[in-house]
Amino acid sequence: MSQTQLSIEQARRLAHVAQGLDRNTDSVISAVRSAGFVRTLGGAEAYLAIRERCNNAPSRQTVDDLLSEGQLAVCPAVRGCIYLVPANDVAWSIACADLLSRRRRHREHQKVGLSAGEIKKLGSAILKALESEALSTAGLRDALPNGAIRSFGDVGKQIGLSSSLPPVLRELEFQGLIERRVASGRLDSEIYNWHCADARELAELHQTEGLDAAVVEHMAGVYLASWPLASVNGLAHWSGFGKRLCKSALEALTIDHELVECAVEGVGERLIPKCHLDRLNTTVKDDGDQQVSFIPFLDSLFHYARGASLFAAEKHQDVEIPKRGMTGASTIRDSSHLGFRSVFLGDEMVGFWEYDPDQDDVALGLFPGLPTKTRTRIQECASPTATFLNQEIGHGRSFNIDTEKDQRRRVVWFSEL
């Protein structure tokens, strides 16, 4: 592999474009893929992540329709978390979550005495109950015959498993026999119904020789497509796989992705796919024309970068930010993740934002030193986001247990910034 040098500004630019934040697409599917999948948290964030990656600001209904049509799906994926993923990545995502949790599930089953025979028996009863209608987990409890579900008692409580129903549902999902769908049809909910599913695609995938290695390599490919500053540690952090597996996957993909060894200022040695390096020649707009972005809470941009430091100018690195829960404080330089919505001017982070439920508007906390003209422009650009949250989403919650009280606390902190 060849060797090259990148400045921090170039690295920031590459990350911004690779993540799709230059809004170079009209396609919601492409936007989701650019993000490297989109976390679903039960709030407005999945919609916001997509809007910031599309140049046509798709409506909530547009996204919901794609979900209803099966072009997008909500399923377990990297790190075992629930993500919004394109349809052609669903089987790979489920196989990934299966591989990540396999050993832990086996230990849990041993502790509570859950045998393969019991899984098969309860699984058959679940599939029979779902033949006529989709049901929530609670609905399945009511629909299944008396005695079909076994309580795990105190032993189960110690490992977070109250009964045999949740682990058997998980096994059926990993086999592709059932699938979860948001009950409301909207991404700002984490209430799911279970549906019978067509297991053929996952069954075909399971015929792949060396499946486990293939799953890790596929996810490494997703990582490389959506994040240009690759490393073994970075892939392990994003995916949840061990470093040994990640190292092997990156080595296997070196030629296909034309990985280039780069020394990145302030970051260290990284592997950058040539397709990302080629984007360095794109024109950077002047300050007056730079795009203003309102990035959601826990956006994949910050998860890949493992904090916000890469995206802030040196003069803003020591800005203090509260830890989530509003207790204690850190600085942008030392942040390992970003628990707040952020404002970007071009590819540089210039502050934070929150939805003010009392004003039905976006409240800003911009960094010191921004020109008045720039501050005015950012405030004007916030109007469509406020309207979207107010009129299409109907709330400004970041996640399922977020409250207006919490939003007001964040608004107060931003006003003091």
Distance CA 123, CA 120 (A): 5
Q: Residue 414 — very low, low, confident or very high, per pLDDT cuts 50/70/90? A: confident
Q: What is the pLDDT of residue 1?
A: 45
Domain shared by 192 and 268, yes or no = no
Domain shared by 173 and 131, yes or no = yes
Distance CA 209, CA 205 (A): 9
Domain shared by 193 and 271, yes or no = no
Q: Is beta strand 268-273 parallel, antiparallel or unpaired with respect to 292-295?
A: unpaired
Domain shared by 365 and 259, yes or no = no
Query: Containing H/E element for 245?
Result: helix 243-253
Q: How far is CA 144 from CA 22, 123, 157, in A?
A: 50, 11, 22
Domain shared by 261 and 357, yes or no = no
What mean pLDDT do residues 138-145 have?
96
- Residues 287-327: pLDDT tens digits? 567 999 999 999 999 999 999 999 999 999 999 887 765 45
* Residue 123: inside a domain: yes
Distance CA 239, CA 145 (A): 39
Structure tokens at 301: 């941009």
| DSSP 8-state code for residue 279 | G
Name the phi and psi angles at 59, rounded to 5: -75, 165
Domain shared by 361 and 304, yes or no = yes
CATH of the domain at 105: 1.10.10.10
- Residues 66-101: pLDDT tens digits? 999 999 999 999 999 999 999 999 999 999 999 999
Distance CA 29, CA 276 (A): 20
Q: What is the pLDDT of residue 306?
A: 93
Domain shared by 183 and 265, yes or no = no
Domain shared by 367 and 274, yes or no = no
* Residue 167: inside a domain: yes
Of the candidates 107, 102, 101, 100, the residue with the CA atom closest to the CA atom of residue 158: 107
Q: What is the pLDDT of residue 4?
A: 86
| Residue-wise DSSP of 353-381 | EEEETTTTEEEEEEPTT--HHHHHHHHHH
Domain shared by 186 and 238, yes or no = no
* Residue 40: inside a domain: no
Domain shared by 339 and 298, yes or no = yes
Residue 153 CA from chain centroid, whole number: 34
CB 169, CB 119: distance < 8 Å: no
* Residue 43: inside a domain: no
Structure tokens at 332: 């942008």
- Kindly tell me the sign of the dihedral angle through the C-alpha atoms of 180, 184, 187, 188: negative
* Residue 35: inside a domain: no
- Residues 342-391: pLDDT tens digits? 999 999 999 999 999 999 999 999 999 999 999 999 999 999 999 999 99
* Residue 58: inside a domain: no
The total domain count for the chain is 3
Domain that holds residue 4: 1-19+227-282
Domain shared by 152 and 261, yes or no = no
